[in-house]
Amino acid sequence: MSIISALQQDSDGLTLEWDDGGSTSLPAIWLRDHCQGAECRDPGNGQRLLNITQIPTDTRIKEAVLRDGRLLVDFEPDGHHSEFEAEWLQQHCRDLGRQHDDRSERTKLLWHGDSFADGLPRCNYPAFRDDSVHQRDALRAVRDYGFVLLDAVPCEPGEILRVIENFGYVRETNYGPLFEVRAKIDANNLAYTNLGLGCHLDNPYRDPVPGLQLLHCLASSTDGGESVLQDGFLAASILRDENTEHFEILSRQWINFRFRDAEADLRSRVPFIEVNDRDEIIKVRFNNRSIDVIHLPTAQLAAFYPAYRHWAEILERERLQVEFKLEAGQLMLFDNTRVLHARRAYAATGTRHLQGAYSDLDGLYSRLNRLEQSA
């Protein structure tokens, strides 16, 4: 742990100097706003009790000293006294620009078709369910790679909902709490036929889109029907490398998605590529079947179409794709804001039956955060 070696008071606040080099300048208002005392933070649940509007606009530092590595500050004009622990300062002030964003490409391991020569990220389901270290490692795979395969999931209809209980909550949709993926007559969605499906993400017409998808294989005796996965964050970063302008167009000019059947009429206006405040990729979308009419001013269409085509073309590159056959008892759990999936066409003879369900990333990350902290 680095330690504060010196303190410098200036007109706007303080500059902390670290013993291993470098310094951090903190405005007085930031320090006052982050007081950890019992008047400002609930000691039990850690929630903030102080509202920014209660802090005087002209807040200044009257006096600041270091004592046993702790920072003691007296503020003017409200006369408030704050104490900051060395560990807290180290964790939160060392680099104010390095924010926490568990959705950003920066925190992921991007992959392509050859990345898993030593095997796909996988976990035995009974171990996942019963052992927190196995579960932590599997959830880390979802965070890092965007997916994990679970083996030996009991082939019971509805088991998929019990799998979700390990880390989060079922996100019910118009397809039900879970949905049956098998060939149907008069399917309301092409997913429920034996046709091949290109790489896509599910439900882009939902806002918010379900952040996690699960597909559990109950039977697999047909020829074909192989599963394909693809890292949409890598694909978007390739687009940015190949043509920065195309990347910017797809993050700044949004499009509509839509799904209609007898019961539902779901419509969204969202970007193909979503970035955070530092222009890092945080979500991608693509689903050819459900792109609605493209509404952009005519003047923008000439530039939009090449960008859109480029994005779709990268998503068809086979070297970015991992292909495998999901066998009965296997379940794939993947980040539906990042990992595209596809399915090869399959024969009309034999049985292919998957059950699918959705959940959300926030529940999974919350569970993973707790497992990391208790490790």
Q: Which of residues 277-306 bind its own copies (CB under 8 A)?
A: 277, 288-298, 301-302, 305
In the range 48-77, which residues lie near its own copies by CB under 8 A?
48-53, 57
In the range 82-101, which residues lie near its own copies by CB under 8 A?
92, 96-101
Cis? peptide before 121, omega within 30° of 0 = no
Q: Where are the beta strands (DSSP E) in 243-280?
A: 255-260, 265-270, 273-275
Window contacting its own copies (CB under 8 A); options: 73-81, 140-148, 227-235, 266-274: 266-274
Window contacting its own copies (CB under 8 A); options: 117-125, 136-144, 230-238, 258-266: 258-266
Residue-wise DSSP of 5-21? EEEEE-SSEEEEEETTS
Q: How far is the CB of 12 from its own copies (least distance, A)?
A: 7
> CA dist 170 to 7, 70, 105, 160, Å?
50, 45, 25, 10
Residue 361 binds its own copies, judged by CB under 8 A: yes
Closer to its own copies by CB, 26 or 160: give it.
Answer: 26
Closer to its own copies by CB, 21 or 46: give it.
Answer: 46
One symbol per residue from 124 to 163: x for binding its own copies (CB under 8 A), - otherwise; what is it? ----------------------------------------
Residue 166 tokens read as: 């390990």
Task: Give the binding-site size for its own copies (rule: CB under 8 A).
Answer: 93
In the range 5-34, which residues lie near its own copies by CB under 8 A?
12, 24-27, 29-30, 33-34
* Run of H or E residues at 23: strand 23-27
Closer to its own copies by CB, 131 or 207: give it.
Answer: 207
Q: How far is the CB of 172 from its own copies (least distance, A)?
A: 4
Kindly give the pairing relationship between strand 321-324 and strand 331-335.
unpaired
Q: Sign (positive/negative) of CA torsion 204, 209, 212, 218?
A: negative
Strand, coil or helix: 275: strand
In the range 315-344, which residues lie near its own copies by CB under 8 A?
316
Rounded Cα distance, 122 and 322, in Å:
14
